[in-house]
Amino acid sequence: MREFRFSLTDLPDKTEALRQEVRDFLGRELPGYSASKRAASWGGYSAEFSAKMGRQGWVGMTWPKKYGGHERSAFERYVVLEEMLAAGAPVSAHWIADRQSGPLMLRFGTEEQRRRFLPLIAKGECFFSIGMSEPDSGSDLASVRTRAERQGNGWRVNGTKLWTSNAHLNHFMIALLRTRPNDEASKHAGLTQFIVDLKSEGITIRPIKDLSGRKHFNEVVFRDVFVPDEMRVGNEGDGWRQVSSELAFERSGPERYLSAIALLLELISLAGRAPGEMAAVEIGRLVSHLATLRRMSIALAAMLEAGEDPATEAALVKDLGTTYEQEIPEIAQRLFDISPSEAADDEYARTLAYLMQTVPSFSLRGGTREVLRGIIARGLGLR
Ligand SMILES: Cc1cc2nc3c(=O)[nH]c(=O)nc-3n(C[C@H](O)[C@H](O)[C@H](O)COP(=O)(O)OP(=O)(O)OC[C@H]3O[C@@H](n4cnc5c(N)ncnc54)[C@H](O)[C@@H]3O)c2cc1C
């Protein structure tokens, strides 16, 4: 049996100056940002805020300067991410492009794609969606049916993507498309990734309401949409391999254990300096788990920077991290007898209400718990 590879490390001391810089920025930009606003976490969307982050040099931080990046370390990027998440800053607009679309283009894109898109992403002005899931293909991603057929100097796309976060607001989608018919004998063959302009003729974007009535994800229907061949990312047929490596970026970051931090901070402040025994035990446990998850996630940032593929470990961090986040509202309700209500004056009640309705999705987005555990078992050689 193979073992997990976590080489636990602390953030270098020199990142602390950057941390203070980020805190000062957040203090200026989001003064008095309430807990119920912070609760949206990396779901909060503000193109204006993303552009301000771009001006600070905090988007595309690790990318080469020739593509508009800043050649900073993965640890420096980590500090910026955790401060943004702790402050509940509205980072959703650039989050996906910074986390995975940009790195995908750096690894597999053409020089022309890198020069065209990366500087705009790093400025915090160009936003991407993930076009993987479909009506009948979520966990079983290899079964995607949206097809791209050769047409002149490009491709004609037909089909439907589902649950596409922010497609109604973003500029582009990286779509996983079927460029050859499904072959049951080799399910992973015949898939290719494309950059699709979401304003293209033939695309219809319909919002879907979540449990809380909010609209952040969509159904995206393609009818004879033309995508030029220069928007293909990587070789035809390499989509599965590319998506698999992209998912390590998607699953390993601090957003996989900090999405409910606004409520934990409220909990700590309600418990006060002299908490009862139960509050001390429960909050103590939450904080110590947070510290462990953080160290595991930092170890993954280091592996990604070293060019390693920590797919198994990323799946573990996401599974443990989302299980952790999902516990927080339940514990909050157990500790303090305050009814969750988004209409209440009380910030705690509003934050609790929002997160109670949202946390169930944390173990679905980015890969479900069962699927992650399957990946972990396979990675360890158990299946
Ligand atoms: C808030 C949110 C945002 C999202 N944003 C995006 C996005 O931007 N882009 C995008 O492409 N997708 C997005 N998704 C979709 C997400 O990736 C899928 O919901 C997820 O992959 C699960 O797929 P599914 O919904 O089709 O469920 P299914 O695959 O139908 O799964 C249903 C249930 O069956 C279980 N199951 C399935 N297969 C197995 C198996 N082999 N073994 C054991 N159990 C199994 C699952 O664990 C789950 O509990 C988003 C989802 C959410 C909730």
Asked if 119 and 45 touch (Cβ cutoff 8 Å), the reply is: no
Nearest ligand 1 atom to the CA of 176 is 11
With tokens 């750096």, the residue in question is 106
Distance of CA 234 to the CA centre of its chain: 22
Interaxial angle between packed helices 277-305 and 311-335, expressed in degrees from 0 to 180 and rounded to the nearest 10: 160
Atom 38 of ligand 1, residue of closest alpha carbon: 139
What's the length of the chain? 383
Q: Residue 119: which of 97, 150, 143, 90 has the closest Cα?
A: 97
d(CA 366, CA 18): 29
pLDDT in tens, the chain (383 residues): 889 999 888 899 989 999 999 999 999 999 999 999 999 999 999 999 999 999 999 999 999 999 999 999 999 999 999 999 999 999 999 999 999 999 999 999 999 999 999 999 999 999 999 999 999 899 999 999 999 999 999 999 999 999 999 999 999 999 999 999 888 888 899 999 999 999 999 999 999 999 889 999 999 999 999 999 999 999 999 999 999 888 888 999 999 999 999 999 999 999 999 999 999 999 999 999 999 999 999 999 989 888 888 999 999 999 999 999 999 999 999 999 889 999 999 999 999 999 999 999 999 999 999 999 999 999 999 98
N-to-C CA span, the chain = 10
Ligand 1: which of 364, 376, 378 to mutate, most ligand atoms within 8 Å of CB? 364
With tokens 């993303």, the residue in question is 50
SS3 label, residue 90: coil
Relative to beta strand 191-197, strand 172-178 is: antiparallel
Six-digit token pair at 239?
Answer: 């989509």
Q: Which DSSP string corresponds to 141-202?
A: GGG---EEEEETTEEEEEEEEEEEETTTT-SEEEEEEESS---GGGTTTTEEEEEEETTSTT
State if residue 164 touches ligand 1 by the CB under 6 angstroms criterion.
yes
**Tell me, what amino acid is at 299?**
A
State if residue 101 touches ligand 1 by the CB under 6 angstroms criterion.
no
